[in-house]
């Protein structure tokens, strides 16, 4: 187990290092941030000085070395725009994004698993076909369109839910949560539903495929021959055996949603880090983008590690090596 | 419960289980009848695809779409299972009738411990508390010959060998003390050396618990050791039945004789094993008359025109054949 953790840690570090190289290269080839900082009427000398202060006058290799050095010290630089540490900026907004994503994932699972199990257990029924058609819709409809339709229907037309912001929040251990207040709930429902549809559809389809596969196994029939109820057979015996691919996709989707909740956050003016990213890209606010990308890479790597650990909890035949 | 002589433990009457597939209706079980008394072992014999397993699953009400029990009665202690609802059947499964499957490698859930899978039966069918169930599981595991039982309860199926897993499956089948056990090719997937151990175990356990058993197999050698009486199926129909010693020593149906002749015999040194020529006809498209006639050495014109009925033969035998063998017949 210790050997596995060590190996995994080295692997994760390696991945993050490669990401840092890619991020740095990308940043160096996209625009010159100096012009975002100096006034429009700056002289050549002022521009050169700004360049020197930012360290942009040195060779790429030296720049990367310094970049890596400060990364390792936890120094991600100051935002050019906000004049604040980039990390602080992002960490301020991250809880809002994480909250939105988690609520969306809970929605997705609460709907996708029961429907997927049903559709997998009764592939011929009319209801299953309806579910499968619905899931195709969920996969193909673009999020921004769904978001706008939901706003039109629920905010503009019926006036049930507000269309933007987080609403009232309650603070727990220094973090603010919308889901702890009623007003917050009404604010989070529309963006969470918008964000969840794609994931819901994918998880539903994978659950169904897994259940169809498992349904053919002898032990399912043996469980029935023992006198177990239909639900026990499906959920206790079947679902657990169908869960490995579901968990895999679930992990990837969480990472995906945290990284790319941007569109949904923009539509619903959700004050998360996705919106910050968009703003930073417009303003070529390099440090913020770098921190954002590194953080997303870290989230992916950690979630994948957790998924591997969860495998072993589900299936005793899988060992961490 | 009435006495065993009043009516048998299980009485199957004219059972028809059909599968409605795209390429036609498969009459997997077509008018099968048999009785099993208390404490009896019945062998249900036939080739692959002969509908043997479907009989077993029909009794438990585990026929899935596109299959359906079209007709007939399955009377367990006089109560019809065909018309019983799903809730009533669920209560009977495991408690009154349990099943041992062919392949122990796949009949246990790989993600649950053996203990949990055993406990499930007791939880479903008894009022015992957790401690009593645990004790009962340990006792049952020990009685099927698994040592260090309390430790082994925490193991997963993949930590057992095939023979050990089949012992676990048998333990699960016996746990709730059912009156009838349906064993569907219980030793086919096992090593030859393990086979006789498992058969011995089953025979001993069933005798101890006074249970009855349907032993489904293609292996007449196995049945002849275990069964009190034998029912031979061919293309979903009973072609012959009778007491084991009568049927094995002097079968009256040519198909049964073919099955017996194909058992390897150590005392009779032959170069080649005897076999039944041809193969089972397409069950979706059975010929007129006797289903076996194309493979039968005794077939005559009548066999193509008229389907033979099950008629009394010598001894305890009944066979569905126009030209049955008498004891001593060789051709």
* Yes or no, beta carbons of A227 and B91 under 8 Å apart: yes
Q: What is the ipTM of this complex?
A: 0.89
How many other C-beta atoms are found inside a 10 Å radius of the C-beta of residue B270? 9
Question: Would you say A73 and A256 are in contact if contact means Cβ atoms under 8 Å apart?
Answer: no
> How confident is residue A52, by pLDDT bands cut at 50, 70 and 90?
confident
Q: Is the pLDDT of residue B168 over 50?
A: yes
pLDDT band at B2 (very low <50, low <70, confident <90, very high): very low
Q: What is the mean pLDDT of chain A?
A: 88
Query: Judging by beta carbons within 10 Å of its beta carbon (0-12, 13-18, 19+), is residue B203 exposed, middle or buried?
Result: middle
pLDDT above 70 for B122: yes
Domains in chain B, CATH or no CATH each: 2-227 (3.40.50.300), 234-320 (no CATH)
In this predicted structure, the answer to whether residue A2 has a pLDDT above a threshold of 60 is yes
Helix (H), strand (E) at residue A191 = helix A182-215
pLDDT in tens, B215-274: 999 888 889 889 999 999 999 999 999 999 999 999 999 999 998 888 877 666 666 777
- For residues A12-31, give the mean pLDDT: 84
Q: Would you say residue A262 has pLDDT above 50? A: yes
Residue B152 pLDDT exceeds 80: yes
Q: Would you say residue B64 has pLDDT above 90?
A: no
Q: How many residues appear in chain A? A: 321
Q: B109 and A314: CB-CB below 8 Å? A: no
The average pLDDT across B146-168 equals: 93
Does the distance separating the beta carbons of A226 and B98 come in below 8 Å? yes
The predicted pLDDT at position B280 comes to: 80
Residue B5 has pLDDT above 70, yes or no: no
- Out of A253-267, B116-130, B284-298, the most confident range is B116-130
Phi first, then psi, for residue B277 (nearest 5°) are -65, 155
pLDDT of residue A302: 92
The secondary structure of chain B, three-state, reads CCCCCCCCCEEEEEEEEEEEECCEEEEEEEEEEEEECCCCEEEEECCCCCCHHHHHHHHCCCCCCCEEEEEEEEEECCEECCCCCHHHHHHHECCCEEEECCCHHHHCCCCCCHHHHHHHHHHHHCCCCHHHHHHHHHHHHHHCCCCCHHHHCCCCHHHCCHHHHHHHHHHHHHHCCCCEEEEECCCCCCCHHHHHHHHHHHHHHHHHHCCEEEEEECCHHHHHHHCCEEEEEECCEEEEEEEHHHHHHCCCCHHHHHHHHCCCCCCCCCCCCCCCCCCCCCCCCCCCCCCCHHHCCCCCHHHHHCCCCEEECCCCCEEECCCCCCCCCCC
- State chain A's maximal CA–CA distance in angstroms: 86
**What pLDDT score does B49 carry?**
72
With CB atoms and an 8 Å threshold, state whether A227 touches B90.
Answer: yes
pLDDT the model gives residue A303: 92
Residue B330 confidence (pLDDT): 67
Residue-wise pLDDT tens digits, A164-207:
888 887 777 777 788 888 888 889 999 999 999 999 999 999 99
Give the pLDDT of residue B1: 42
Neighbours of B172 (CB within 10 A): 29
Q: Average the pLDDT over each of A6-15, A279-288, B145-154, B201-210 and give the range with the smallest value.
A: A279-288
Whether residue B62 and residue A315 make contact (CB cut-off 8 A), yes or no, is no
Q: Within 13 Å and on the Cβ side, how many CA atoms surround B220?
A: 24
Q: Which helix (H) or strand (E) holds A137?
A: helix A126-140
Which of A33-42, A54-63, A139-148, A297-306 has the lowest average pLDDT? A33-42
Please name the member of B95, B99, B111 whose beta carbon is closest to the beta carbon of A314: B111
Q: How far apart are alpha carbons A115 and A56 in whole angstroms?
A: 55
A271 SS3 class: coil
Using a CB-CB cut-off of 8 Å, the residues of chain A touching B169 are 222
Interface test with B, best of A214, A222, A229, A231 (most B CBs within 10 A): A222
* Nearest beta carbon to residue B111 from set A218, A226, A240: A240
CB distance B109–A219 less than 8 Å? yes
pTM value is 0.84
In angstroms, what separates the C-alpha of B81 from chain A's closest C-alpha? 14
Q: Per-residue pLDDT averaged across A46-73, rounded?
A: 82
For chain A, list residues whose CB is within 8 angstroms of any CB belonging to chain B: 124, 217-219, 221-230, 236-237, 240-241, 314-317
Compare CB distances from A226 to B57, B110, B124 and report the shortest one's residue: B124
pLDDT (0 to 100) of residue B266 = 64
Alpha carbon B62 to its chain's center: 15
Strongest mean pLDDT among A2-11, B31-40, B286-295? B31-40
Contact A219 B107 (CB under 8 A): yes
Q: Is pLDDT at B4 greater than 50 in this prediction? A: no
pLDDT at B329 over 80: no
What are the residues whose beta carbons fall under 8 Å from the beta carbon of A289, sequence distance 6 or more? A27, A277, A280, A281
Please report how many Cα atoms fall inside a 13 Å half-sphere around the Cα of residue B166, on the Cβ side. Answer: 25
A71-85, A200-214, B310-324: lowest mean pLDDT where? A71-85
Closest residue of A to B155, CA-based?
A316
């Amino acid at each position: 187990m210790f050997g596995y953790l060590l190996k995994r840690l080295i692997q994760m570090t390696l991945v993050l290092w490669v990401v840092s190289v890619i991020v740095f290269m990308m940043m160096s080839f996209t625009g010159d941030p100096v012009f975002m900082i100096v006034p429009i009427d700056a002289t050549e000398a002022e521009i050169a000085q700004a360049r020197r202060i930012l360290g942009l006058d040195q060779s790429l290799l030296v720049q990367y070395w310094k970049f890596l050095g400060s990364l390792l010290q936890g120094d991600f630089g100051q935002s050019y725009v906000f004049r604040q540490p980039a990390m602080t900026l992002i960490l301020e907004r991250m809880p809002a994004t994480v909250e939105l994503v988690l609520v969306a994932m809970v929605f997705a699972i609460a709907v996708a698993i029961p429907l997927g199990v049903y559709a997998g257990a009764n592939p011929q029924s009319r209801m299953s076909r309806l579910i499968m058609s619905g899931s195709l819709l969920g996969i193909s409809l673009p999020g921004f369109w769904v978001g706008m339709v939901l706003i039109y229907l629920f905010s503009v037309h019926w006036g049930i839910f507000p269309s933007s912001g987080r609403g009232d929040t309650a603070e727990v251990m220094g973090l603010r949560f919308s889901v702890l207040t009623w007003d917050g709930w009404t604010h989070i429902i529309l963006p969470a539903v918008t964000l969840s549809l794609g994931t819901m559809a994918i998880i539903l389809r994978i659950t169904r495929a897994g259940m169809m596969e498992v349904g053919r196994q002898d032990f399912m029939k043996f469980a029935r021959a023992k006198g177990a109820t239909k639900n026990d057979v499906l959920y206790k015996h079947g679902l657990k055996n169908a869960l490995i691919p579901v968990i895999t996709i679930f992990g990837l989707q969480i990472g995906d949603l945290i990284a790319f909740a941007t569109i949904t956050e923009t539509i619903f003016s959700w004050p998360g880090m996705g919106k910050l990213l968009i703003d930073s890209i417009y303003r070529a606010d390099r440090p913020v983008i770098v921190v954002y990308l590194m953080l997303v890479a870290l989230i992916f790597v950690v979630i994948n590690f957790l998924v591997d650990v969860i495998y072993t909890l589900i299936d005793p035949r899988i060992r961490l090596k | 419960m009435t006495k065993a002589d009043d009516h048998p433990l299980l009485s199957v009457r004219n059972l028809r289980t059909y599968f409605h597939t795209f390429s036609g209706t498969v009459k997997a079980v077509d008018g099968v009848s048999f009785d099993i008394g208390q404490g009896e072992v019945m062998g249900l014999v036939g080739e692959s695809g002969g509908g043997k397993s479907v009989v077993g699953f029909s009794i438990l009400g585990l026929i899935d779409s596109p299959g359906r029990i079209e007709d007939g009665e399955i009377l367990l202690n006089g109560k019809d299972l065909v018309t019983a609802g799903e809730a009533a059947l669920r209560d009977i499964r495991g408690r009154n009738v349990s099943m041992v499957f062919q392949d122990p490698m796949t009949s246990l859930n790989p993600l649950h411990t053996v203990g949990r899978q055993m406990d499930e039966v007791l939880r479903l069918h008894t009022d015992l508390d957790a401690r009593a169930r645990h004790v009962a599981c340990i006792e049952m595991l020990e009685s099927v010959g698994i040592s260090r039982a309390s430790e082994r309860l925490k193991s997963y199926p993949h930590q057992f060998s095939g023979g050990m897993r089949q012992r676990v499956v048998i333990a699960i089948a016996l746990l709730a003390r059912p009156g009838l056990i349906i064993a569907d090719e219980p030793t086919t997937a096992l090593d030859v050396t393990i086979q006789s151990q498992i058969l011995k175990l089953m025979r001993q356990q069933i005798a101890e618990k006074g249970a009855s058993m349907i032993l489904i197999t293609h292996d007449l050698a196995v049945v002849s050791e275990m069964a009190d009486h034998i029912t031979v199926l061919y293309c979903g129909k009973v072609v012959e039945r009778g007491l084991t010693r009568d049927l094995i020593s002097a079968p009256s149906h040519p198909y049964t004789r073919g099955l017996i002749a194909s058992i390897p015999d150590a005392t009779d040194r032959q170069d080649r094993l005897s076999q039944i020529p041809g193969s089972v006809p397409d069950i979706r498209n059975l010929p007129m008359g006797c289903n076996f006639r194309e493979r039968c050495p005794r077939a005559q014109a009548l066999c193509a025109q008229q389907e033979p009925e099950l008629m009394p033969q010598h001894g305890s035998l009944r066979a569905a054949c126009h030209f049955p063998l008498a004891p001593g017949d060789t051709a």
